[in-house]
Amino acid sequence: MRFYNQQHKHYCGIDLHARKMYVCIIDQKGKTKVHQNIKTDPQQFFELVFPFLDDIVVGVECVFCWYWIADFCEEHKIPFILGHALYMKSIHGGKTKNDKIDSHKIAALIKDGNFPIAYPYPAKWRATRDLLRRRIYISRRCSERP
């Protein structure tokens, strides 16, 4: 398992959902700069991260709706990392769990070098990958016994 271990001035952890996302931005010392729940809107997100664009990295746990934010970060030359959902045990294993806590934990994992990396497929390959995954699912369903 590979972990993200590059140093930045600011670290942005996002707990991403289809309609809402909780954004947490911390500095090198771990002090919280931004901690907000916003709509999954590129313009609102850009307004939040704009003051920190000089040196920030954005990290998101690998969930079904990460494509738009990866494309947005690539378009604006913001470093983007995708967290491997199966290996992010520190987020899923806690007793207290909500979006606010999760976004802060993601930012802290990035800052401390404990953020497990997943491969963010380039936009041109995503449709092919999704099609192949769907085909595997259908093939398995067809081969099951009734």
Stretch 17-25: mean pLDDT, rounded? 95
Give the CATH superfamily of 3-121: Ribonuclease H-like superfamily/Ribonuclease H (3.30.420.10)
Stretch 2-10: mean pLDDT, rounded? 94
Q: How confident is the model at residue 143 (pLDDT cuts 50, 70, 90)?
A: confident
Are 49 and 12 in contact, with CB atoms under 8 Å apart? yes
pLDDT, tens digit, 9 for 90 and up, residues 89-131? 766 666 677 889 999 999 999 999 999 999 888 888 888 888 8
Lookup: tokens for 80: 């983007």
Q: Where are the domains of the chain?
A: 3-121
Pairing of strands 3-4, 56-61: unpaired
Pairing of strands 20-27, 32-39: antiparallel
Are 42 and 24 in contact, with CB atoms under 8 Å apart? no
Residue 64 pLDDT:
82
pTM: 0.85
Neighbouring C-beta atoms of residue 131, cutoff 10 Å: 10
Residue 94 pLDDT:
67
Residue 90 pLDDT:
62
**Helical segments of 1-122, H only:** 42-49, 67-75, 89-92, 99-112
Residue 51 pLDDT:
95
43-69 exposure pattern, b = at least 16 Cβ within 10 A, e = fewer = eebeebbeebeeebbbbbbbeeebeeb
Residue 103 pLDDT:
93
pLDDT, tens digit, 9 for 90 and up, residues 24-75? 999 999 999 999 999 999 999 999 999 999 999 999 998 888 989 999 999 9
Q: How confident is the model at residue 145 (pLDDT cuts 50, 70, 90)?
A: confident
**Helical segments of the chain, H only:** 42-49, 67-75, 89-92, 99-112, 123-143
Residue 93 pLDDT:
65
**Residue 77 neighbours by CB under 8 Å, 6+ apart:** none
Residue 63 pLDDT:
84
Q: Is the dihedral of CA 64, 121, 79, 108 positive or negative?
A: positive
